[in-house]
Amino acid sequence: MRLKQPIIAIAAVSAFTLAACGGDGTGSGTGSGNDDQPDTTQGGNTGQTQDPDREGPVTIDGATEGGTVTVISTSGLNTMDPTEAYYQNTTSILTGLVTRAWTQYAYDEENNTMVLVPDLATDLGRPNDDFTEWTFTLRDGITYEDGTPVEPEDFAFSAARSFDREAFPEGPAFSNDYFVGGDTYKGPYTGNGLKGFDAVEINGMDVTYKMATPFPDMLYWASFAAMGPIQEGADSDPEKYRLKPLATGPYKFGKYVPEKSLELVRNPEWDPATDPARTAYPDKYEFDLQVEEAQLNQILLEDSADDQATLTYDDVLAVNFDQFKADGRAAVGSFPLTSFWAPDYTKITDIKIRQALAYAYPYEDADLAGGYIEGVTSLPGAQLLPPGTAGRKDFNPLPDHEPGSTDTDAAMALLEEADAVGYEVKFLYTKDSDSGVKVKDAIVASLTKAGFSPKPVPTTIADFSSLRADPDTDINVRSGGWIADWPSGGSWFPPLLKSTDVAAGVLGANYSKFNEPDIDAQMKEIQTLPVEEQADAWGELDDTIMTDYFPLFVTRYGGVAQAYGSAIEGHFIDNTIGMPTWKNIWVNS
């Protein structure tokens, strides 16, 4: 899953054990986030606990209804169509407040982690013996915001939509990777409607998904907005639906100005008795999505009467962090983020030049310029998988390189070996972001010292994502950040490094344009292994890719430090995605 805003960095993983977690469906406590440092060894160990028997309604002791929550951020919302929502903020807002799917996450305050629980399904799904079929049963009494009943056929249509890479180029492609027909069916808009779509079978209230390859992680994919119900018809046309998706959750769209603002108001058709995780205490959410960094931090620091019910899902600046902690208004946590630089594999073909970039990158100076907090929102790393991910190997792909350190002499030596001193490096930076400009300056200084010829390309926060996603943009390095979609290497390697048809304009999240058929074959083989063998196999693949090919390099692993006003309660960190736990928030008036 992509980060909510442009960054110039990367992340890593370690081991977890699946466990069941019991619960009675009620929340407790009124505290907001915790102000301890996150466990930096377990960033990838998230989302693995499950409670298939959780039921609604959910209540929080001491919580009261009413009030408006104001959410401020520097970054807009890329697209709010559930099928294409694949950024950190769009995914979290939709699945937490607006749309429902088969499964969802609930916050466990006692253990400070997220638990996978049912949502529109009566359980967490039922696989066959080899995980090539999954069946979900739709709950009774679910309706859309207009009162129309949700039908099993709506899930078939949403699944068909999720195949369409032309209509939804930035959406998650897991249906293409795993479902029957994933390599041939083109979706209801690009192809011939639902003709040839055979991946879903309906029997009464049961919906069965058929897989071309074993997919033990389907219960996690089932939590995405793309797997929620969408009605077939003219209203679901992508150009319309991204502006106003039909709500099944506790809130629906009010006024929405793409990239700028969003209003969410109560959805009277939502029935809390059917929902094992969500609450709906606030009357309204108002999102202001183009607030400057300095202004954002100042609004929250002042905590004036009008702004006490305000929060942000942006990380606070390092210079303000201690003050928010002292005030007890900092929500801190870890999540499975790897930030990276991805040299264009089709342009920078010499591995020595790609390695030289990793030696030359100004890790500490870039963090300082970007306002990251050492040990909280920035942690050094070398592997693609972050600490805490099952099967993660401890290796260093660069000789004599301490992760997070800069060595311009080693970079220069590699450039000399490659006869590439003065090599031109073109990368995007956000000219309308103070920190983006400062990070760019730090990178230019370090690359120049190392023997490169840096050529930063200016853009805006609003245009960054679309330019990065265009394979024809005139750059040869892309920066990115990836958040694990679920606790498995299967949510890392296929999205980031599986070959894509660049000539057809398909880049997806493969920012490096990595294209190695042997690695594609290894990914496919791992997905057919017994479940208990897959974690170690992904760890070995991480070692192979990073050591032998080096298509990208980690700039940092991530953590979260978010601030909120004194009237906000229940702002914990969803450690599967690094966003607020929307389902717990209420206003203390």
Taking the chain (589 residues) in consecutive chunks of 10 residues, what is each chunk's mean pLDDT?
A: 44 24 29 50 75 96 97 90 94 97 95 93 97 97 97 98 92 93 92 89 98 94 98 94 97 95 98 98 96 92 95 93 94 92 97 98 95 90 90 92 96 98 97 92 98 97 88 95 89 91 77 96 91 94 97 94 97 93 96
Find out whether 527 and 534 touch, Cβ atoms under 8 Å: yes
Please state whether beta strands 310-312 and 68-72 pair in parallel, antiparallel, or not at all (unpaired).
Answer: parallel
Q: Which amino acid is at 524?
A: K
Residue 319 to residue 372: CA distance in whole angstroms? 9
pLDDT of residue 399: 86
Q: Which two tokens stand for residue 523?
A: 């990914």
Residue 365 to residue 570: CA distance in whole angstroms? 34
Instruction: With H, G, I as helix, E, B as strand and everything else as coil, classify residue 207.
Output: strand
Residue 340 to residue 313: CA distance in whole angstroms? 21
Question: Is the link from the previous residue into 57 a cis peptide, with omega within 30 of 0?
Answer: yes
pTM: 0.85
Residue 512 to residue 524: CA distance in whole angstroms? 20
Please state whether beta strands 200-203 and 206-210 pair in parallel, antiparallel, or not at all (unpaired).
Answer: antiparallel
Q: What are phi and psi of 266, to 5 degrees?
A: -60, 140
Nearest Cα neighbor of 7 from 486, 512, 464, 550 is 464
Residue 236 to residue 131: CA distance in whole angstroms? 31
Q: Which two tokens stand for residue 408?
A: 């311009």
Find out whether 274 and 56 touch, Cβ atoms under 8 Å: yes
Q: Which amino acid is at 318?
A: A
CA distances from 556 to 13, 71, 271 (A): 12, 26, 42
pLDDT of residue 269: 98
Residue 149 to residue 314: CA distance in whole angstroms? 36
CA 427 to chain centroid, in Å, comes to 22
Find out whether 1 and 481 touch, Cβ atoms under 8 Å: no
> How much of the chain is in helix, strand and coil states, percent to nearest 5?
30, 20, 50
Find out whether 242 and 80 touch, Cβ atoms under 8 Å: yes
Helix (H) or strand (E) holding 554: strand 553-563
Q: Across the strands, what pairs with 203?
A: 206
pLDDT of residue 25: 30
Q: Which two tokens stand for residue 374?
A: 């050492």
